[in-house]
A and B are shown apart, each in its own frame.
Chain A
Amino acid sequence: MTWVLLAVLPLGFAGIWHLQHGIDAQRASLSEERDDLLLRSGKLMRAMSLEYAPLMADIYWTRVVQYYGNKRVRKQTNLDLLWPLLDITTTLDPNLLVAYRFGAVFLSQAAPSGAGRPDLAVELIKRGIKANPEYWRLYEDLGFVYYFDLKDYPKASAAFEEGSKQPGAQVWMKVMAAKIAAEGESYATSYYLWKDIYESTSDPSVKKNALIHLELVQAKEDCRQIDLAADEYEKRNGRRPTRLGELVQAGQLLPKLLKDPEGYPYVLGENGKAELNVDSPLLEQQLLFEHFKTN
């Protein structure tokens, strides 16, 4: 009888393999049309959960992660359900800190990597602060959203200030409050904040996202430096430089051929301004962010 199994098993699994692929394709095309969350009321969910609210919060948190992950894999940019899911999760368990931190990053950011709703992010974080007033990182997150997405520097500074007073807060929080109050947006501040997120988080999505932003900030600063050098060149030579090499040869203007964090050298565009190299993967990211910002 064993020969029967030897024949049926591989044939059967081959069939299953093909069918599963087919079903996946079919279902993917279905779900693009419409996301759904049956019950959107956090309070109702909480009432229904009885004493299992923290467990339900965990389950919903899993759904948040899955939801976001699926969207990224399918390269879909519609993150409408992110807020309701996070809303329910944090209503069920107001102490689930990871949810607030995730929301801070991905609710506020513009597409494609976020929902583009900094206002909702602020609401979420404020709820988190209300339930966990001594967790200094929530203030960091709040200041972060004000600084990057809302460009509201007074509020950002105030958030960092408040956070610096909480137990365990790191020293730079106070420094950051002062610096933002004084300068508003600056390269150093941006770089520092993203670096802190990158180093302190254990969530892989957040980490990956922070790295991209870190590199873009670096690239922006590098380009600014290159532009300054190009301006100087123009002043001296009467025309814009066309190649980066010209700036290097001129001596003090640029110490060496600058490369972006992914290792591709910058180029000078048609208008004489520094740009990312066409081959660099960072360029694609930058264009994506800009595309959604203007929309």
Chain B
Amino acid sequence: MKGAGIVALNTFREAVRDRVLYNLVFFALLMIAASVIVGQISIGIEQSVIVSLGLSAISVIGLLIAIFLGVALVSKEMDKRTLYALLAKPVRRWEFLLGKFGGLVLTLAVNTAAMTLGLLLAMLYVKHGLERSDAVVFVAVYFIWLKLALIVALALLFSCYTTPILAILFTAGLYIVGLYVQELRNLPPQVMSPEMAAFTKGLSYLLPNFENFNVMAMAAHGQTVPSTLILQNTLYTVVYCAVVLTAAAVVFSRRNLK
């Protein structure tokens, strides 16, 4: 287990040195521009717009990092063969995977936290003060981070048994499917046979449902998110990541390296 920690810290160090965190500069510029424009126009819904824009940006940037770096975590080490010397050490393959996962999730946490700070500053500027109800933004960002963790796990799984490009496509595809999973339950019965409908409905509960993490509307209006939902989403992410990472560990343990 300790090996995982060593790998995780090194993964974080790699992300920092690889200048991944420069995306924060882009985000900062975006927030500044938006705040200034919105501040000038004063359309009465400043909070809504800034929060929605900020959360959307955090989500999109986070997604890009999660998918592309998530896939690269393992595939880059296999391609460049940096993995070989590492596996000769007393560290198990699953420890390596867990460490990689942990490192990227840590990177995303730092990245997201920094962006949240930027968002809060923008909100402060536009609203000329913050209220207690604005704390919902923290919850919204936390949910986004949970979502990103799950995506990293999926990217890791796919990259363990297929090429990087396919892994990226599968992960992105599964994300899009996961946004609409809810709709599978509401399909009109005329479209398919009852057995198919039951199967699809069952499947819709098991596929990753990313809509669970979406509280952007509530954040935009300063509403409180019930703590039950916070707990549920946290558990959901933990359990789902555990399943996906276990599968990844099994696949990777049997893989013949080049």
Contacts and interface: CB of A to CB of B under 8 A. Distances in A.
Interface of A: 1-2, 4-5, 8-9, 12-13, 15-17, 19-23, 26-27, 30, 34, 36, 38, 66, 69-70, 73, 204-205
A26 to B, nearest CB: 5
Interface string B185-212: 0101011000000000000011001001
Contact of B236 (A19, A30, A36, A204): A19
A45 to B, nearest CB: 14
B23 interface: no
Contact of A38 (B212, B220, B249): B220
Interface in B133-171: none
Interface on chain A toward B: helix, strand, loop, or mixed SS?
Answer: helix
Interface in B194-249: 205-206, 209, 212, 217-218, 220-221, 223, 226, 228-229, 232-233, 235-236, 239-240, 242-243, 246-247, 249
A120 B106 CA distance: 52
Given A17-B206, A66-B183, A23 B250 contact: no
B10 interface: no
Interface in B7-34: none
Nearest to B215: A30
18 contacts: A1-B253, A8-B243, A8-B246, A15-B235, A15-B239, A16-B206, A16-B236, A19-B239, A26-B226, A26-B228, A26-B232, A30-B218, A34-B221, A38-B48, A38-B49, A38-B220, A204-B188, A204-B190
Given A1-B253, A26-B232, A34-B221, 12 more contacts: A12-B240, A13-B243, A16-B236, A20-B205, A23-B229, A23-B236, A26-B226, A26-B228, A27-B229, A66-B183, A66-B186, A69-B188
A20 B205 CA distance: 6
Interface of B: 48-49, 52, 183, 186, 188, 190-191, 205-206, 209, 212, 217-218, 220-221, 223, 226, 228-229, 232-233, 235-236, 239-240, 242-243, 246-247, 249-250, 253-254
